[in-house]
Chains A and B, each alone.
Chain A
Amino acid sequence: MRHAFPLLALALGLSICGLAFAEDTSAPLPVKHVQWSFEGPFGTYDRGALQRGFQVYKEVCSACHSLNLVAFHALAAPGGPGFTEAQAKAIAAGYKIPAEPNDKGEIFDANGNRLTRPGILADHFPPPFPNEEAARAANGGALPPDLSLIVKAREGGPDYVYSILTGFSHKPPTGFKVQDGKYYNPYFAGRNISMPPPLAAGSVSFADGTRSSVAQEAHDVVTYLSWASEPTLEERHRTGFEVMAFLVLLAGLLFLAYRKVWKDEH
């Protein structure tokens, strides 16, 4: 009787580990696990992957997905893709930013097009669509999410985004009905995703000459998006290491002081 309660609790606890998914072909597959240079307490971003990933974002993803929270000056900041300030400035200048009203108070030109100006370092990446409605209209009613935080905003983080990007190669199982206007991706909840497969081998020719397979493009753009979600990761790991070393030293000293004070008591 004495041990009944604890044993019951223990049994319940152990059986919780037996929790199993129901057999359900619309439940997503568990994500693929990939080695990332930035995982673990000493992780850093692979500079080459960041720059290639930026290229993938720019040439493929930015057609539909905004990156609203990332400023051009971040491209030159430490812990990031490592462009020089001049390079970041040139990248910024290549973008058209909706211009402030001109002296006549106009923001459209004679043809009804939005007036633009070249980007500067202080600008953020401009969105491909002016508002949510336009984005949906251009994408069959679906809203391509902003990618600034996508890696932190999804369970599974970079593994999840990588699995989605490389998951289009799976064919649906027999009997599985893919909804109209959607695509089969087994890593997506419900397995029907509105995004068409964005990556193909060779769709980006990397400036550094790396072979652009789908896996490579996915790996690099996920690295880039991980940086976009968490640009201070390297500084955080570095500071963390220093703080931990200090705290261990301090704890050690405090322990010795504690023992010294209590030596003759107790």
Chain B
Amino acid sequence: MAGHSTYVPAFGFTRWLDKRLPILRLTHDTMTTYPTPRNLNIWYTFGGILTFCLGVQIVTGVVLAMHYVPNADLAFNSVENIMRDVNYGWLIRYMHANGASMFFLAVYIHMFRGLYYGSYKEPREVLWILGVLIYLLMMATAFFGYVLPWGQMSFWGATVITSLFSALDQLIPHLGSAITSWLWGGFAVGDATLNRFFSLHYLLPFAIAGVVGLHIWALHVPGNNNPLGIDVKGPQDTVPFHPYYTVKDAFYLSLFVILFAGFVFFAPNFFGNPDNYTPANPLVTPTDIVPEWYLLPFYAMLRSVPQKLIGVLVLVGALVTLFFVPWLDTSKVRSCRFRPLMKQLFWVLALDCVMLGYVGSQGADAALNLGGMQLPLVWLARLGTAYYYGFFWVLLPLIGRIEKTKALPESIAKSVLGATGERT
């Protein structure tokens, strides 16, 4: 809650600084005394984890950029130089590649947390929108980054995704081709494309950092939501951020880093695609072009429609949908803890995204063997896409009106400590 600052500079230097640039005051107010609901659970630690991930990606990325060469003839070998000859280059590269996967793992948990507890609802709509913006910037950054090693998947993934814009030719003749050749800097993905993708890949993370600053600011104005979804009523509902949440965030971050280290040191190519260890060849298309796992659900949506332009609109629409969530949900109750019907639909959405991800990972012609009958996976993709859209555009508005919600607790403190005020 944006309240009165209690910071009192204790030393001569800190008094002097506080009058000129109150940065210590800002730290004190936002990270030390900041009143935080006392009932935040593990799912609320992912904001801090995401900040850590952004830091890791920037530090490892800047260091990789000291050795990487963004030229189509040299890029692949420059990455291998990093892996083989640069001191600890293998470690920094694997941290960066696996860090991207960890970043998306954390962001999906973070987003689903927001959906479940109604953290997007009034008065946190702008917080949610900034978050969606960060997510889109992350997707763009990851897309550009994956092109840089200039492997087969780098090249052909870039070709497929940039070619999507040519679908616009159906709306306005020549517009799509003009856009794609503008993106490519040529007649196909090539050296010009690689260079500009490198520049943008270096730039966007700092844009992300800026939007993250706004995101945290937009959080601190109304204050954190909490698993009960009810407002903080007074100081008895909160604890100071430090030491309660600094230590809690640090602990859960350490668990996250253990998982991260597990991948980096013992399964560094688990998330990757072997085809990207083959240098890019514009004349040979890999048998299956697959993006990285975190883009697979949207890839499945794109391929669910045979018509190119509609497929693109379905993909873009799925992302644009996220911006409208605060207004699509009509429920007066925030948290799914008290929304029994929405809770189940939420879990179906989660499974739906996993299913779409699986479909996205398979070939375009893949099919399920159901007791002798072949079910093309594309029908699962269509079902999954329909549910995705239906969830946001039909169910969210509808369920809020018809659902019988459970009774909300009186306050956070009462809920945590029990009605008599004794610890439960």
Contacts and interface: CB of A to CB of B under 8 A. Distances in A.
Q: Do chains A and B touch in the complex (CB under 8 A)?
A: yes
Interface of A: 2, 5-6, 9, 12-13, 15-16, 18-20, 41, 69, 71, 74, 145, 148-149, 152-155, 157, 189, 229, 231-232, 235-237, 239-241, 243-244, 247-248, 250-251, 254-255, 257-258, 261-262, 265-266
A152 B38 contact: no
Interface stretch (B130-138, B198-206, B251-259, B331-339): B251-259
Nearest to A150: B277
Given A6-B344, A236-B90, A236-B91, A243 B244 contact: no
Contact of A236 (B257, B265, B371): B265
A254 B244 contact: no
B178 interface: no
B318 interface: no
Interface string B320-331: 000000000000
B345 interface: yes
Given A18-B368, A237-B265, A266-B416, A153 B275 contact: yes
Given A236-B268, A244-B258, A265-B239, A6 B348 contact: yes
How would you classify the secondary structure of chain A's contact residues: helix, strand, loop or mixed? helix
Interface string B371-407: 1000000001000000000000000000000000000
Interface stretch (B76-84, B167-175, B210-218, B296-304): B76-84
B251 A257 contact: yes
B247 A257 contact: yes
A247 B348 contact: no
Interface in B258-316: 258, 261-262, 264-266, 268-269, 274-275, 277-278, 287
A15 B254 CA distance: 37
B29 interface: no
Interface of B: 38, 77, 80, 83-85, 90-91, 94, 239, 243-244, 247-248, 250-251, 254-255, 257-258, 261-262, 264-266, 268-269, 274-275, 277-278, 287, 341, 344-345, 347-348, 351-352, 355, 358, 366, 368-371, 380, 416, 423
Contacts of A152: 269, 274, 277
A24 B261 CA distance: 41
B248 A258 contact: yes
Given A16-B358, A69-B80, A266-B38, A155 B274 contact: yes
A257 B287 CA distance: 52
Contacts of B344: 2, 5-6
B80 A240 contact: no
A244 B261 contact: yes
Contacts of A262: 244, 247-248
B116 to A, nearest CB: 15
Contacts of A145: 278
Given A9-B355, A74-B84, A149-B278, A239 B254 contact: no
Nearest to B279: A146
Contacts of B244: 261-262, 265
A157 B267 CA distance: 13
A9 B258 contact: no
